Structure formats: C-alpha cells, structure tokens
Amino acid sequence: MSDASQTTRPDPGALLKLAAREDRGKLTVFLGAAPGVGKTYAMLARAQQRRAEGVDIVVGLAETHGRGETARLMEGLEVLPRRQAEHSGKIYDEFDLDAALARQPSIVIVDELAHTNDAGARHPKRYQDIAELVDAGIDVWTALNVQHLESQADLVARIARVPVRETIPDVVLQEADEVVLVDLPPADLIERLKEGKVYLPENATRATEGFFRPENLTALRELALRRTADRVDDQMADIWRRQAVEGPWVTGERLLVCVGPDRLSEKVVRTASRMALGLNARWLVLSLMRSADPIPDADKSARLETTLVLAEQLGAEVRRMVADDFVAEILKFARRENITQIVIGRPKTGFLAGLFRRTLPDVLARSVDGVGVHLVSESPGPSGGAGFRPRKRSLPEWVAATGLPVATVGAITLLGLGFSQLLVLQNLSILYLFAVLVSAILAGRFAALLAAGLSFLAYNFFFIDPVRTFTIARPHEVLALIIFVAVAAVTGTLAARLREQIERARQAVRRTQALYDFSRRLSAAYGIDNVMTATASQLHAMLGFATVLLAPGEDRNLEIQVAWPPDQSLDETAMTAARWALEKKEPAGFRTDTLPLTPYLFLPTRSDRRMAGVVGLMLDAAHGPLSADEERQVTAVLEQAAIAIDRARLVRENAKAAVAQEGEKLQTALLSSLSHDLRTPLASITGAVTTLRELGERMSPETRADLLVSIEEETARLTRFVGNLFDMTRIESGMVKPKSEPVDLEALVAGLVERMGRLDGRLEIETSIAQGMPPALADRDLLEQVLFNLLDNARKYVGTERPVSVYVRRESETAVISVTDQGKGIPHEDLEAIFEKFHRRAKGDGRPAGTGLGLSIARGFVTAMGGTIKAESPAVRKRGSRFVIRLPVAAETAR
C-alpha cells in the first residue's frame, strides 16, 4: 500500500466513536452567557416546531421563572408529572427520571443541566440523570450557562466576584452531539432585566448592581462564544477524521501538567484545562513522588486525590510515577509523549528561601529545550496559600514527639553528670547525639530537631564553663556547639528519613505479602464460588469493612454471590447502585456521584474479557472515603480476582464445551446407527415385499419361501433394534426397576440356548453348569436379555464357525457367569470403551449389523440388579474374549 493511501485512510478511532453513538440518544445543549438570554424560550420554540412535524417530544422539566412569554410556549406540549421532594421542611417539584424512562419519548426537554438534585434522587446531579436518558436511547434537550462549567468556575468567580456553587465537568459539553448558542448583547439583556423579564422587579435591581453589569456580561459572552467555537471546531475535526481529510489539526498541541499535594495544584489544573480548550489540545496530568519522601499524611493524600479527580472530570489523562530526579523524569516523559507545553505551579517563597534554594519550576525552566513552560502563580486571598499546612498530630503523637526528646536528653544529662564526677570527659557532646538518634528513630523528624535544641541548651548549661549559665567563656566552645547542633540536626534528619523509609518499606512488604497470600489462595481456589469467597474474605481482612460480591446470575440479574461477614444484605437502593456500577463500569454508592447516601461503595470488577461483577464495601461517615493507599490495595485485589474469575469461567465453559462435544459425538453416532440400522432392514423388507407383489406366482415356491424368511429375519432384527433403544431409554431415565428373586441359572441358560438356536441354528453354544449351583438373586427377564445380547454380540463379531462357551460357577457368595468366544479378541484399551453407547470396533459400511447398544444395555441391566460385568481378552490361547458377570446368590441358599 502506498504512503498516499495510508494518509487518506479514515481515523479508526473516529469511526469507532461514531459507531458507539448509534444506539444512544443525542444530547443537545442550549448554551448561554448568563441567565435571561432566552435558552428555555429557544428550546420551547424549537419544540413547538418539532411537534408540528409529528415528532414525539415531551417536556420533562422547563423552568419559566414566571415569564409569561416562555410559559405560553408550553401550550400544546406534553408535560411529564414531576416528583415531589422535600428540602428544609419545604415541598417542591423535581424532575422525575423514572417517569421519563417509562414514557420513552423521542425527545425530552430537561432544563438546567447543572442543577443539584435532592438527597432522595438516584443521582446527585441532573447531568447524570440526562446521561442515563441518553444511554437509554432518548434524545435530550437541555440548557446551560457558561459559568457552570468546571473549568470556568474560578474564572467567573474572579470576574463577577460571585461564587459559582453548581458546576458540571467540561466533558459533558465536549460529548454533546449539538451545542446551540443562545446569544444576546449585554445591553439588551440589561434592558430585559429592567423590564422584569428575567427576575422579579425587587430582585432585578440587586442583579443589575451585582452580577448583571456590562463588563461582567461582556466577559461571560466572550467565554460562551469561545466555548461554542471550540465545540464546533471539535465537530469539524471529527468529520475530517472520519472522511480522511488532511488538515492542520493532526499537529495539535499536547500539554503536560505537573501537580502535587499542595493547594496551588487545583488552580494549575483549572488553568491548564482552559489552555487545552483554547488550543484544542490533549493534556496529561502527572503526579510525581520520590521513593525517599516521607509517607504523606491523610490531608495531603486527600488533597492530591481531589486534584487528580478534578483533572479527570475536566478531560485530562492522569499518570502517577515514582522518581528521585523530578526534572529528569519530567523531561523524559515530555519527550516520550511528544509534549509541546508544560504547565506547573510556582508557589510564593520568602527572600531567603529563594536566595538559597532553587525551586522545581526554576530548575525545569532552565533545563527544558524546545518545550514551552507556563508557570502558574498563587492568587492572593484565602484561596491562595503557599506550601503545606503542618500535619495535624493526634495527642499521643504530640506526647511522643515532645516527651521522648525531653526524657532522652534528661537521661543523657544525668548520665553525663554522673560520669563527670568519676572521669574527665572531653567529648561529652557525643552522648547527646544518641538522644537525637533515639528521638529520630522512635518519634520522627520533629522530635529529632527538638532533641538537638534541648541537647544544645543542656550541654551549654551543665558542661561548658561557666556552668549553670548559658554564657560561653571560650570562643572555641562556640564553634564546637555550632558544629554539634549542625551534626545533630543532619543526623536526626537522616535517621528520621531512614525511619520513614523503613516504615514505607514495611507497608510495601505487608501489601506485597497480602497480595502474595491472596494470589496463592486464588491459585488453589477451584470454581467461581471459591474465588469470590477468597476475594471477600481478603478485602475484609485487609480493610476491616463488611464486603459483598455481586455477579449476574443465570437469569442475568445481579445477585449477591458472597458476603463477608455472611449476614450482609442489600436494600433496593443499594442494589440500584450496584447495578449502576456494573452497567456504567464506574463506582457508585457511598460518597460518589450516584446514590451517595448508600452506606456501600460499589466498585466494578473488570477483566480484559468482560465485567466480572461488583464488589461492595460498607463504609461509614467516621472513616470517610477510601484513602489513596486503600484504593490501590482494593484495585490490586480486584484485578487479581477478575483474572481468577475469568479463569474459573473458562474452566466451566471448557467443561460445558467438552460435554457438548461429547453430546455431538453421541448424536452423530446415534444418527449413524439410525441411518444404517434402520435403513438396512427396511430396505431388505421393502425389496422382498416388492418382489413378491410384482412377480407373485411366477416365482418358484423355494424363492418365495426364502423371501418370506428374509422378511421375518429383518423384521426380528428391526424389532431387536427398537427394543434396544427402548431399553437404553429406560436405563438412562431410571425406569429400570429390577425384581430381586431367585433365578435358576441352569434353566435360564437352557432356555437361552434354545432361543439362540431359533435365531441362528448355525451358532454352536457350549454350556457348563457347576454341580449344586444355587439360584442367583436377579431379575430373570433382564438377566436373559443380558446373556442374549452377549451371545448375539459374539455371533455378529466372531461368526458361527467357532463355538461360544457359557460357564456358570460359584465363588463364595457370588454366582459367576462367563460367556467366551474364540474370535481375534479385543484390544486392551477398548475393554472399557466397548460398554459405551454406540461404540463399535468396526467402521464403515462393512461393519456388523447393530446399534452398538448391546453391551451398554448389558452393563446397565447388570448394575441395576446389583451385579458387575467386565470384559477380558485374550481368553483362549492368546485370542478370544470373555465377558464375566457376577451376581449375588439367593439368601436362602447362601447359608
């Protein structure tokens, strides 16, 4: 294929994106710069046009805010009933999601996309209700003001000096199928406000003096126009990709955003989001951590997780990495990902700190080559703030951090005073290093620095002349003290860092050991039930939370498979959250965006092949959401569990496939037997009858007799075939109920020989009955059929040239009946297979007549009578076969 043809090939990603939208509804967003520009009016006016065209369109919710001209546009439109909700003791109307799903219109109007739902709703935000409608195949029209976009919220707050409380992720607007800009110049909007067409007169005056000022409206109008233009540009790029049109869009910008646990990172993410939207660029958010860094406290971890979640909501791709050299790793990552611009925060630093310590943004800006670096500084006011707040310590931690240095320094001081009475110590300060090291190892960096300060004071007060004062008489003692404090601070810091690294390593070892033990349990677990039980108990042991595992049952409905502890149950709300997590492949329940009041956090468990199920963790308000470390542990366990569940399912499916394959083989054998063993006797009978009818008296008496004999033989053969099928059906269905009565084996064998003589007089049967042979405990009819099948089988495969022997003897309390032929024998590997249904030693058209059921029926009958049957070969002079039947003798003769 030529290069030209390759460059004009449609983008597979764009085609897959288009295909994914086929079964979904379409989302249309009417975007405005501010309230009152006419978004709801435009929606309803367009709805009236579509209704006139015969489209099934309904109003799920439309807020007219008392505007008469807007309310008149709802006349003639079907309005869905609203759901009653309560807030702060007041009853008000809310959008009824379930009513819209039950109605299933072609288009539904749901106003105010950024609205926050009441506590009893299925989703906390209305945009999530709309997403569920779109997934159900319903087209949705909705309205949005530009200030409610997450990336614009802080910018609008600075412009209008009004906080934006309700926001939606920018990805909602990015994934909209159509964005309709509803625009109105600021002067016209202010005029509408004064006329009372936006708010009531008493509110309009306050709005004009506050939010609705010309400069604010102009800035918001620019934001709305830019976002609409960006969306149109995205749609045009999608069309180009699908149609393989070459254009400059293939060389777009790529942004790398570096964040950490500081408060500035949130502003960095929002700023980068606006840059990415303005540049129509893909952007990545990178979080780096040093392996030697101290373990982050809960506040820092929560702040970092919040920042990364915000980045994902704004459309970024999040990466986490561990590196010792941040600058080298950032540059390496930028080269690998073809980054064109780097965005990083630059916190404010003091004069001395800036003079003696270079910050990461400064070093990065000096080291980068060919990539733009954007520095985001802090904003003044309460939202800013450089650095980190000190970690909140608990009371026991404060006692340890302060009490331990005081105790160790005091002990060293007493020890030094005691030694100084006996010896002259020149380097007593070395003893105080021991106090610093002990404090650092046992209580951390703060305790080490406190121990160093206390050691400085104690050494100066008790051991440097003049003693009992803090005065230093000799200058060289000053230098010694300074050196001591420096060495103590460095030693304590290193010891504290080593302690933190050891603790981090211990945690890693504990996690690794737990995962290793879990993987061993999974490798030994057989079946999905055992895998789920191991997973639930592991999560409960690791986190201490009650755990439930749910998976689709036989009827495809989500069911609780395992609960740990076992007494867990879920109410309807929790089951709804679990189904949502399974269907949408995203977390639901406790403190998420879907049914956040549910006490269970439901996490989807997904492997590479399919959704394995949902795990529910029962959390509480005291614990709060999972920490970053807990999330990583749960993710690791669920990934291993998903693989094990996939493996168990594959084993089960393979077993089903093997059974199905055996069934197909059985069906093939049955059809082969039916086609051969039914067609052959029927063809013989049909041919004989046709010959007799057509020739009649012209045939000789001998020929007619032969034809009648042939009809009789083939009819008998057909009767035996049907009888065998019936007997096999009786055995498999459990209908065989043998009688247990004494059977005279000598009389039975004599009658059998006579019966075989009538069937084929050429077969020679030798019999031998032991003297005084007691009756066997069996069913006479079934036993006769078994022996008949064995003799008939010998006649078919061995022929009538050699005799068949039937011997009866007694072994202890067992009657032994053996049927021996002198054929070529049975291969050793087939001695058990010959008792299977439809098994035949000969293949093709030259095989002996029969269905291959005789020996299978014989074993079924003998087993039902409480006996055994087996085959032996060779039997006579290295050839032949012997079938040995063992039955209990009658009780009255066994004594």
| Whether residue 365 has pLDDT greater than 90 | no
| Proportion of the chain above pLDDT 90, given as a percent | 10
Structure tokens at 65: 């805010």
Give the pLDDT of residue 608.
57
Q: Is the pLDDT of residue 494 over 60?
A: yes
Residue range 163-167: mean pLDDT, rounded: 83
> What whole-number distance in Å separates Cα of residue 843 and Cα of residue 851?
12
Instruction: State the first-to-last Cα distance of the chain, in angstroms, to the nearest integer.
Output: 93
Indicate if the pLDDT at residue 29 is higher than 90: yes
| Residues 6 or more apart whose Cβ sits within 8 Å of residue 233 | 280
For 646, the token pair is: 């996939």
Three-class secondary structure of residue 346 per DSSP? strand
For the cut 90, the answer to whether the pLDDT of residue 834 exceeds it is no
Lookup result for tokens 């406000």: 193
Q: Give the pLDDT of residue 895.
A: 39
- Tell me the three state secondary structure of residue 704: helix
Alpha-helix residue ranges (DSSP H) falling in 178-213: 186-194, 201-209
H/E stretch holding 525 reads none
Weakest-pLDDT range from 474-478, 691-695, 842-846, 877-881: 842-846
Q: Distance between CA atoms of 664 and 676, rounded to whole angstroms?
A: 18
Residue 193 has pLDDT above 60, yes or no: yes
Q: What mean pLDDT is predicted for residues 214-230?
A: 79
User: Which pairing describes strands 741-743 and 776-778: parallel, antiparallel, or unpaired?
Assistant: antiparallel
Name the DSSP letter for residue 889: B
Distance between CA atoms of 642 and 401, rounded to whole angstroms?
Answer: 44
Report the distance separating Cα 191 and Cα 206, nearest Å.
Answer: 14
pLDDT at 807 over 90: yes
| Position 101 confidence tier, pLDDT thresholds 50, 70, 90 | very high
Q: What pLDDT score does 43 carry?
A: 92
Residue 383 has pLDDT above 60, yes or no: no
Please check the confidence at residue 477 and state whether its pLDDT lies above 50: yes
The reported pLDDT for the residue numbered 393 is: 52
Give residue 1's pLDDT: 41
Q: Residue 669's pLDDT is what?
A: 59
- Which of 84-98, 506-520, 845-859 has the weakest average pLDDT? 845-859
pLDDT of residue 378: 76
Under DSSP, is residue 719 helix (H, G, I), strand (E, B) or coil?
helix
Output the pLDDT for position 138.
93
Cβ atoms within 10 Å of 168's Cβ, excluding its own = 21
When pLDDT is cut at 50, 70 and 90, the band that residue 447 belongs to is confident
Q: What percent of the chain has pLDDT over 70?
A: 75
pLDDT of residue 21: 62
- Find, among 366, 369, 362, 320, the residue nearest to 344 by Cα: 362
Residue with the larger pLDDT of the pair 846 and 676: 676
Cα 174 to Cα 177: distance, rounded to the nearest angstrom: 8
What is the pLDDT at residue 609? 59
What is the torsional sign of CA 483, 489, 493, 495?
A: positive
Lowest mean pLDDT segment, chosen from 63-77, 312-326, 546-560, 656-670: 656-670
pLDDT tens column, 481-490 = 676 667 767 7
pLDDT single digits (tens) 768-802: 998 888 999 988 888 888 888 888 888 877 777 88
Q: What are residue 478's phi and psi, to 5 degrees? A: -60, -45
CA distance 199 to 124: 27
Give me the domains of the chain, ranges plus CATH numbers.
12-243 (3.40.50.300), 252-377 (3.40.50.620), 395-502 (no CATH), 544-620+630-653 (3.30.450.40), 734-894 (3.30.565.10)
- Integer Cα distance of 867 and 740 in angstroms: 12
> Which has the higher per-residue pLDDT, 7 or 622?
622
What is the structure's pLDDT at 588?
A: 86
Question: Cα–Cα distance between 298 and 231 in angstroms, integer?
Answer: 39
Beta strands in 264-377 (DSSP E): 282-289, 317-322, 341-346, 372-377
Alpha-carbon distance 79 to 161, whole Å?
37
In terms of Cα–Cα distance, which of 481, 442, 436 is closest to 459? 481
| 170-179, 231-240, 696-705, 755-764: which is most confident | 170-179
Average pLDDT value for the chain: 77
Confidence of residue 250 (pLDDT cuts 50, 70, 90): very low
Is residue 735 classed as helix, strand or coil in its secondary structure? coil
pLDDT at 210: 58
Mean pLDDT, rounded, for 694-722: 77
What is the distance between the alpha carbons of residues 126 and 129, in angstroms, rounded to a whole number? 5
Q: Where are the beta strands (DSSP E) in 475-596?
A: 547-552, 558-564, 588-589
Task: Give CA torsion, residues 786, 790, 792, 796, to 10 deg.
Answer: 150
Lowest average pLDDT, out of 42-56, 263-277, 407-421, 865-879, goes to: 407-421
Q: At 336, is the secondary structure helix, strand, or coil?
A: helix
Q: Which two three-digit tokens encode residue 425?
A: 């110590």
CA distance linking residue 307 with residue 647, whole number of Å: 37
